[in-house]
Structure 1
Amino acid sequence: MRYLLLLSFVWLLSCQREPVADTGPWYDYAPVATGRYNIYDVSEQRYALNAAPLQRTYQVKEVVGTPYTDATGQPAYRLLRYRRASATTDWQLDSIWAVQRTDNQLLRTENGQAFVSLLFPVRERLQWNGNRYNALGEEPYELRNVGLPYRVSDTTYDQTLTVVGQNDSTLVSQDKRLTVFAQQVGIVYRERVQLQFCSSTPACVGTNQIDYGIRQIYRLRQYGTN
């Protein structure tokens, strides 16, 4: 049934149109072309009340698919996401997202929610509402460290920028989201932290004892073009 739903989704997006061409050097931070792929090592910890943390590692492969015309008549690309438990197992299609790059922004539709991942042209401390096109409530995004190097695992990317979304930490919770883009590569690092700390008794407040939540990190392992 899941496979049939994915096929139905692809069929609904079958109307194709040429995407926007590269017209500025800032597009190097978000290359979008059919056949491009990024492979990530993902580490994840999930916490539940009165239970041991569930720790998992796996790999995710994102492949830019064929272009199509979205419901507003604008060009976009399918983003095919595959998952496997390790480098020795086979890829399995996990979901189909979408990516859309216009003259002034990069949109990623993830699990049915559209996010403004980048604004163009890029500049230090540029701010925008990342949830402009969804109903999740306003969330300020800010560009930082534009043009600076960033190291992921054993690789240093010379030209990068960091998009900081939510970044709040209190005695009872932590909410953090950031994404690092590298020139001619795209996303090289993603971090999502949503934790709720113990607050049921005065003794546990401020101890960072986790009641529930998730910590998830994507690190780029490989990229290229099929």
Structure 2
Amino acid sequence: MLSCKKNQDGVDMGYAYFPTDSGNMVTYQVEEIFHDIDLIPAHDTSKFQIKEVVGELFLDDAGNEAHKIYRYKRGSETDAWVLKDVWSFNRLTTRLEIVEENVRFVDFVFTPTLNKSWDKNGKNTQDAVLSNFLTVNKPFEINSFQFDSTSIVSHQNFTSFVDHMVEYDIFAKGIGKIKAVHKNLVIDNFDTLDIKKGTEVSYQVIAFSN
């Protein structure tokens, strides 16, 4: 039975959506597609696996408690894991901050509430990105896994005559992020299938332990 941390008033803050226990692990099947109609091949797909493991606690430059995230990569399940990079995260009282390649993002806020919004780039110098919850505490099934309580966070969802940008994450209580999709595409005439250039990246959970 999952134990949800609550504040002094007995409100479930949703902290279980991103566990901090050292050794907590999630493995993803990753697919990257690079599009450029001026190249051969015009649409190039690569597939690999990423394993993220919560590491030790430390104090960051602001004096806040943070955890390292060790990220390993392999081509397939028959290959050995190789350390790719080390990220970090702060699970603060009201928000989750993740530092990726020295850039800090606000990926999630507490308490998760439908349509609550925030600036994902509020802690870095990049252009503002308005994030919000599309669903909160809903069941979700992926790759034969059935999760009782998940929340979907939308970071971008924009289509124009020549642009198609989609970015969202799905978090599950007790696990962390179980799916991520990021599309940044140049299209033609509002047709999201007529792709000229850009990238698509998707992460889907295939294993986890806590």
TM-score above 0.5:
yes
In the other structure, the counterpart of 1:163 is 153
Matched letter for residue 223 of structure 1: F
Highest Rg: 1 or 2?
1
Determine the C-alpha separation between the residues in 2 that align with 1:82 and 1:123. Answer: 32
Equivalent of 2:38, from 43, 50, 65?
50
| 1:210 counterpart = 2:195 | yes
In the other structure, the counterpart of 1:111 is 101
How many residues end up aligned between the 2 structures?
A: 198
Matched letter for residue 32 of structure 2: E
Matched letter for residue 191 of structure 1: V
Matched letter for residue 69 of structure 1: L
Give the superposition deviation at 1:160.
0.5
Cα 1:49–1:124 change in 2 (3 A) is same
In the other structure, the counterpart of 2:77 is 87
| 1:193 counterpart = 2:178 | no
In the other structure, the counterpart of 1:41 is 29
In the other structure, the counterpart of 1:27 is 15
> Cα RMSD over matched residues?
1.3
Structure 1 runs (4+) greater than 2 angstroms displaced = 22-25, 205-209
Give the superposition deviation at 1:192.
0.4
Determine the C-alpha separation between the residues in 1 that align with 2:122 and 2:89. Answer: 15
Write out per-residue CA displacement over residues 126-157 of structure 1, whole angstroms, 9 at most, x where no aligned residue.
11111000111111000121011112122221
TM-score, normalised relative to structure 1: 0.84
In terms of fraction of residues, the more helix-rich structure is: 1
| 1:126 counterpart = 2:116 | yes
Secondary structure of 1:209's partner?
strand
- Gaps in structure 2 of 5+ consecutive residues: none
Determine the C-alpha separation between the residues in 2 that align with 1:73 and 1:155. Answer: 38
Give the superposition deviation at 1:23.
4.3
Determine the C-alpha separation between the residues in 1 that align with 2:205 and 2:52. Answer: 11
Give the superposition deviation at 1:206.
4.1
